[in-house]
Amino acid sequence: MNISCAPLSTPLRVLAVEMQGDGDVIGRRLMELGFIQGAVVEVRHQAPFTSDPIAVMVRGMMVALRRYEAKRISVEPEAALGKTALEMGHP
């Protein structure tokens, strides 16, 4: 599942960020914002009417992403691993 179709207010664990080649600015920036493997994130808000962009809580900060950017981030429900949201960012 990628994060753009994840349910609201549900802890999610990041599996990977799809990188498209070396000069992939978007992929690198997503990682620098904290979307790294194992990080626990949560979709908190959607923009009115079109539900795009979405606002994601990652490493203690709310980050707005357009859905096409969010599609790069694959996640799974955090509960599947039986961890708590406090262990954010640890693989």
Partner 1 sequence: MSEKTNPVVALAGAPNAGKSVLFNALTGLNQKVANYPGVTVEKKSGLSSIWNGRRFLFIDLPGVYSLDPVSLDERVAIDVLLGQGIASKDTPPDVVVATIDASNLERTLGLAIELKDTGIPTIVALNMMDLAQRRGLKINANILSRELGCPVVPMVATNGDGISALMTKIDQFIPTNIPNAEGHAVHRPTAFKAVTSEIITKRFQRVDDILKKAVSSASKVDQLTWKIDKFVLHPLWGSLLLCVILIGLFQSVFTWAAPLADGIEMAVAALQGSSRLVLPDGMFRDLWTEGVLGGVGSVLVFLPQILMLFLFINLLEGSGYMARAAFILDRLMFKVGLQGRSFVPLLSSFACAIPGIMATRTIRDERDRITTIMVAPLITCSARLPVYTLLVGAFVPQRPGPIGISLQAWTMFFLFLAGVASAFLAASVTRLVRRRNEQTPFMLEMPSYRWPHWRYIGISLWLRALAFIKRAGTVILSLSVILWFLSSHPKAPDDATQPPIHYSAAAILGKTIEPLVAPLGFDWRIATSLVPGLAAREVMVSSLATVFAVEMSDAEAASTKTLQDKLRETWPPATAYALIAWYVFAPQCIATIATARRETASWRWPLLLIAYTLSLAWLAAFVTFRLFS
Residue with smaller CB distance to partner 1, 6 or 27: 27
Strands 54-58 and 40-46: antiparallel
- Cβ-contact 17, 31 below 8 angstroms: yes
21 near partner 1, judged by CB under 8 A = no
Residues 56 and 65 sit within 8 Å (Cβ to Cβ): yes
Among 2, 15, 59, 74, binds partner 1 (CB under 8 A): 59
Q: How many CB atoms lie within 10 A of CB 49?
A: 6
64 binds partner 1 (CB under 8 A): yes
Binding site for partner 1 (CB under 8 A): 17, 19, 22, 25-34, 36-37, 39, 44-50, 52-53, 55, 57, 59-66, 68-69, 86, 88-91
